[in-house]
Structure 1
Amino acid sequence: METIHRYSVQLLNGETLSLKQLAGNPVLITNIASKCSFAGQLSALERIYKKYKPLGLEILAFPCNQFGRNEPLEDAMLKEFYNSHFDLSFLVCNKVQVNGPDAHPLFNYLKSNTRGIAQNRAIKWNFTKFLVNSEGELVSRYAPRTKPETLKPVIESYLYNEDRPIQFAKL
């Protein structure tokens, strides 16, 4: 079965991350935009990340300007904005396209294996979320309006390890 582990991404800090490095961890992937009305979800994503990172959760966020031109920032300005406004500690990648001929290959994989609004494969807006299990297999797709907090039970189900009872911190 194909997994996300065959892809690499460029991080805002200039590093290349092979997603093989995330093997063994569930991953939440989302396209983001600083000027989007859903940008407040970044704070919720950060809270989820801080709560579940010690248990293995990774979050990958990809700035994207394809929807309403809601991500006009570039490179260093992106990094500065997300750090100063949201103090994000999860992984933020370079700006990408998620649809069309120049879409990042990771998003082509994610779209080809799930359907969104009206059973369409294309991503329709910022903050579309994809949950990947620890084996790198795509398990769920969530609409932009889906609040990150509502994903806690499903995230917990992919973090649970029968050999080790988990004590979750309060948010």
Structure 2
Amino acid sequence: MSDDVQNAQAEQDVYGVPIGALLGGSAELEQFRGKVVLVVNVASRCGLTPQYEELEKLHERFAGRGFSVLGVPCNQFKGQEPGTAEEIAEFCSATYGVTFPMTEKVDVNGDGRHQLYERLVGFADSEGYTGDIQWNFEKFLVGADGVVRGRFGPQTTPDAGEVVAAVEKALAE
């Protein structure tokens, strides 16, 4: 691989992006190098919040094959994630049995958009949409090389055929 190709890929992958863990410290995205990751902006008080259950099932189903869900709390959509880090962690664990990693609460749109989402929003969904996150529970499938393989809108559930097929394909690469 040429140096130019390696540098371009490094600018696209998510591993070098610093982000905090929900309960403090670093989420160390580098830990996902070589794994397939579904990055999802989440919220506890949204009509789509029950997707946590499906996200956890997807996480459990494929974890043994090098897959993880990564929840990224965000309060930018009608204030639907107002809690503290501790409240978010307790809600996710007690209500949905969430075991997948969660980051600190971040902005996914606007001038304060987190660097992780700066790298993600340029990728198109199946209908060609790129740009701002549309709502809570938008999903990005990141391949083992750290490059986005798919983008799924908020209404696309984690157990939807196209999501599962994309995960399986990425795991096979």
Shorter-chain TM-score above 0.5: yes
Residues 117, 143 of structure 1: 8 Å contact kept: no
| Letter matched to residue 103 of structure 1 | R
Alignment RMSD = 1.7
Alignment partner of 1:53 out of 56, 60, 63: 63
Q: SS in structure 2 opposite 1:141?
A: strand
Quick one: distance in 1 between partners of 2:42 and 2:15? 21
| Letter matched to residue 135 of structure 2 | W
Quick one: distance in 1 between partners of 2:168 and 2:157? 16
Q: SS in structure 1 opposite 2:136?
A: coil
| Letter matched to residue 129 of structure 1 | K
Residue by residue over 1:18-57, the C-alpha shift from the partner in whole angstroms, topping out at 9 and shown as x without a partner, is 2122111011001010011000110000001001001110
Quick one: distance in 2 between partners of 1:32 and 1:25? 21
| Letter matched to residue 56 of structure 1 | G
Residues 125, 150 of structure 2: 8 Å contact kept: no
Residues 125, 153 of structure 2: 8 Å contact kept: no
TM-score (ref. length: structure 1): 0.88
Q: Quick check: 1:17 aligned with 2:39?
A: no
| Letter matched to residue 169 of structure 2 | S
Deviates more, 1:127-136 or 1:1-10: 1-10
Q: What displacement does 1:96 show?
A: 0.7
In structure 1, the gaps of 5 or more residues are: 162-171
Q: SS in structure 1 opposite 2:166?
A: helix
In structure 2, the gaps of 5 or more residues are: 1-8
Q: What displacement does 1:5 show?
A: 1.1
Look up the match of 1:35.
45
Percent identity of equivalent pairs: 30
TM-score (ref. length: structure 2): 0.87
